[in-house]
Amino acid sequence: MLSRVLATAGAAVIALAAATTSGASEQGSAAQACTPKNNIEAIIDDSQSMSFTDPSLLRVRAMELFIDNQGNERRTLGATEFGSDAQAVFPPQTIGPNRASMKSVLGTAIQADNGATDYNDAFGFAATHNPNATARIFLTDGTHTDSTPYANGHRGGPPVYVIGLGVLGSGQTVLQEIASETGGIYRGVDSAGELQSAMFDLNAAIGCLATPITFRNTFTSANRPQNRSVRLPAGVRSVNAALSWENAADRFDIGGIRVVRGGKVVARASAVRKLRVTRRRGATFVTVKISRLVRGKLRFKLRATRLSSSGAGVELTTQLVRSRRG
């Protein structure tokens, strides 16, 4: 099962998550306790052990999902990869006009070919690579293994939002400390198949949004939709969503999007009050923004449009964040 360990560094962030999920009317005061981070440095583990823990390069897909997440267009993103040493993947730049090039470089640079795992080089290089970063994403599958002890290079820096892939024991404790000491969060996952959903969780925290609402559906055949719904309190203007799965040979989509109130459809993608729906597709994910929402219940259909193995259950993770922002 999914391992979720959220280490927060302050009661303000906890209060934000609780207030936002309880209703949109409470979001305003809670949001004042959190400032969205608009310059992010991603520090991605590319040590050789990743060839075993993440052979399908789902950490690349997770970063692509972050890049394609709608609402991140104006943010700045730089990327560092590390193992025995650290080096640049791409320099800090605005995501919007550089999405395609960022994803292209990630796919070339991240190959699990960088030896051991040196946190010192990772944080030291990241600090010079993007000195103006207001947040860091740190993704690793192991503990610091260099002969020189870890020098706590995260201290004095911006909040670190950490994903630990299969990290246990003292290694997990260190990652939790990196997150808590900087004001970030720690998200532990058991397998690479959870990296994309973990990244969506971190994206919400970086943007001072609520903890995502998460659904998991298992599909055994294509084109048999499964229905889901989410309550929309008054004041919610948009929903950001992500569908993610593990195998690039599979494909999923979302449709039948509508808002129902009092048993009547009051908004939908095609008629009545017309919703605005935009999608971006990756190899193992779809990001969706639904805007022009009104109070009611958001209903939608999840569908497997292609399954690589007939009859075998394939899990789809769907995450949604409600927002007062349009």
Tell me the pLDDT tens digit for each residue of 170-193. 999 999 999 999 999 999 999 999
Question: Which residue in this structure is represented by tokens 């972050």?
Answer: 66
50: tokens are 């990743």
- What's 194's DSSP letter? G
Residue 173: CB partners within 8 Å, gap ≥ 6? none
CA distance 165 to 160: 16
Nearest partner of 245 among 166, 201, 307, judged by Cα: 307
Distance of CA 262 to the CA centre of its chain: 34
- pLDDT values of the chain reduced to their tens digit, one per residue, 326 residues: 434 434 433 333 333 333 333 343 333 334 458 999 999 999 999 999 999 999 999 999 999 999 999 999 999 999 999 999 999 999 999 999 999 999 999 999 999 999 999 999 999 999 999 999 999 999 999 999 999 999 999 999 999 999 999 999 999 999 999 999 999 999 999 999 999 999 999 999 999 999 999 999 999 999 999 999 999 999 999 999 999 999 999 999 999 999 999 999 999 988 778 999 999 999 999 999 999 999 999 999 999 999 998 778 999 999 999 999 87
Dist. CA 268–CA 276, nearest whole Å: 9
SS3 52: helix
Report pLDDT for 326. 79
What single string gives the DSSP state of each residue in 13-47? HHHHHHHHHH-GGGHHHHHTT-----EEEEEEE--
Does domain 213-323 fall into CATH 2.40.30.10? no
Q: Domain 11-206 adopts which CATH fold?
A: Rossmann fold (3.40.50)
- What predicted TM-score, i.e. pTM, was given to this entire model? 0.89
Tracing tokens 């990327």 back to the chain, one arrives at: 79
Do 68 and 75 meet the contact criterion of CB atoms below 8 Å apart? Answer: no
Q: How many whole angstroms separate alpha carbon 322 and alpha carbon 247?
A: 28
Q: What are the structural domain ranges in the chain?
A: 11-206, 213-323
DSSP string, 166-233: S--HHHHHHHHHHHHHHT--EEEESSGGGHHHHHHHHHHHHTTPPPPEEEEEEESSTT--EEEEEEE-
